[in-house]
Chains A and B, each alone.
Chain A
Amino acid sequence: MQGTQHEQLERSWGHFKKYKPLVKELVSRDLKVKYRRSFLGYVWSVLNPLLMMLLQSLIFSFMFRNDIPNFPLYLICGNTLFTFFNESTNMGLTSIIFNGTLIKKVYIPKFIFPLSRVVSSFVTMWFSFAAILLVMVFTRAPFYWTILLCWVPLLFLFLFSCGMAMALSALTVYFRDMQHLYSILTLGWMYATPLFYPLEQLPAFMQRLMKFNPMYHYVNMFRNLVMYGNIPGPNTWFACIVSAVGMMAIGLVVFRKLQRNFILYI
């Protein structure tokens, strides 16, 4: 039994190695196609979060009062992470049905499709990271050494998004309604995450509920490292690791269970 399990693991690893170039090509395709024929091209990846941040700071500084120090930076930190999550899972969700023709004709390990979508969003997010640095320079925010650790919450978020994208892409094959349902869900999720309001503004019971929102923990860890120069306490670490690894495991299990019959439904 152990032997076969070992063999299986080896085969999966072999697969992964064989199809690594494919992930690379799919990611570079996504990036190329995304900005093809647009005049500014990749500049949009930096410009977009900046403009979004400007718009939101205007709205939330003048229309609704808040007393968050360096609000533009606060906003763009949260937005960058949430935009990545939103984009990667939404693109991952349709990745299997959009690649239906390919799946019907060539044998490819199918998890490659949601994975490559998440990876391409992840790459785009690093462009947005340049926007964060720009905002930091412009607002004369202090640079702490902890900013060097900012990849840690991003890695957790990456795992979480991968798990999410895999589960969603598999479920969407069977229930096409997921597409419509999920866009509502992410909208609600965005409001339920303190992106443009401080956690302390919420009533006490909602603050307790927030502990169950993984996005809150990733954003919180990221802001602590980038804006405040803090390394967050063990509770945040625990929440981040458990939610990221847990979601990845759920995604893998759901995907493995459902992928056998994809072909009959796409």
Chain B
Amino acid sequence: MGAENIIDVEHVSMRFNLAQEKTETLKEYLVKLAKHTLSFNEFYALKDVSFSVKPGESVALIGRNGSGKSTMLKVIAGVMYPTTGTVTVRGDIAPMIELGAGFDLDLTARENVYLNGAVLGYDRAYMEEHFKNIIDFAELWDFVDVPVKNFSSGMVARLGFAIATEVSAPLLVVDEVLSVGDFMFQQKCHDRLNKMLEQGTTLLFVSHDSGLVKSLCKRAVWLDHGVKRGDGPSEEVCNAYEAAMRAGEM
């Protein structure tokens, strides 16, 4: 647990109370009370997960749907608090869990660049400096003053990706980003992420696509039903993951 790690995840567990979340109205509550089904239905999305990430590393979280990957990201981004255990993040973080989170659909692309930049903690002057690069990369010069609600989903994703990767945070957290956009743009994103990695950005990447993980990340952490099942070079972990998938055991 040296101080040089950029992320330290120590014995993190995340418990959800399913029954409690489902009872929303008084009527539901009374019905459940009468039926004696108001029991605590505990569910662990993460069970005692520990790992750490060093600066400049590219780490992927892999696992099937519902294995706790996104919950892990949310805990790291500081959006959720773990039930037990601690997460320490050193340094600024560009916690874009989903591209374009923070867009206001009624505003234009130009206004959204500033809004989204502010969401990530950058002021107008900083964003103005990078505005040209962002729109260049997103290839949206023809639509700069069009409200985002008229954009296609691919265009929104392009803009989101361009903003998140243009601002220079030492740690980039991304969730399934490359599944949107056409092939050409995916290639472009891929190149840009690789360039950022060369410049020393730390990347935390979530995917269930092991092919993509292998090409982008050096290390992978495999989560299975909230438990860490593997941690090591992405090639090895991904192969083990694929083998398990093929065996149909999950």
Contacts from A to B (Cβ < 8 Å): 18-22, 24-26, 29, 32-33, 36, 101-108, 176, 260, 263-265
- Which of B48-56, B91-99, B194-202 forms part of the interface with chain A? B91-99
Which chain B residues border A21 with CB–CB below 8 Å? Answer: 117-118, 121-124
Main secondary structure of the interface of B (DSSP, over half): loop
**B63-118 with Cβ < 8 A to chain A:** 74, 77-81, 93, 95-98, 101-102, 104, 106-107, 111, 114-115, 117-118
Residue of B nearest to A18 (CB): B121
Can you offer 19 A-B residue contacts whose CB atoms are under 8 A? A18-B121, A21-B121, A22-B118, A24-B118, A24-B124, A25-B115, A25-B117, A25-B124, A29-B111, A29-B115, A32-B107, A33-B106, A103-B79, A104-B79, A105-B96, A106-B97, A106-B119, A107-B93, A265-B21
Whether the Cβ atoms of B104 and A101 lie closer than 8 Å is: no
Bound-complex Cα distance A95 to B16 (A): 25
Q: CA A107 – CA B76 in complex, angstroms?
A: 10
For B93, the closest partner residue in chain A by CB is A107
Q: A32-B107, A106-B102 are contacts. A22–B21 as well, Cβ < 8 Å? A: no
* A-B contact sample (8 more), CB < 8 A, given A24-B118, A36-B106, A263-B79: A21-B123, A22-B119, A102-B119, A105-B79, A105-B96, A106-B102, A107-B93, A265-B21
Residues of A within 8 A of B74 (CB): 104, 263
User: Given A21-B118, A25-B118, A106-B101, does the pair A33, B107 have CB atoms closer than 8 Å?
Assistant: yes
The distance in angstroms between the C-alpha atoms of A260 and B83, with both chains bound, is: 11
For the complex, what is the distance from the CA of A113 to the CA of B197, rounded to whole Å? 34
Which residues from chain B contact A107 at a C-beta distance below 8 Å? 77-79, 93, 95
> B106–A108 contact, CB under 8 A?
no
Residues of chain B within 8 A of A104, CB atoms compared: 74, 79, 97
Residue of A with least CB distance to B175: A105
Instruction: List the B side residues contacting A24 at CB < 8 Å.
Output: 118, 124
**A33–B102 CA distance with the chains assembled, in angstroms:** 15
Q: Which of A32, A106, A176, A265 contacts B79 (CB 8 A)?
A: A106
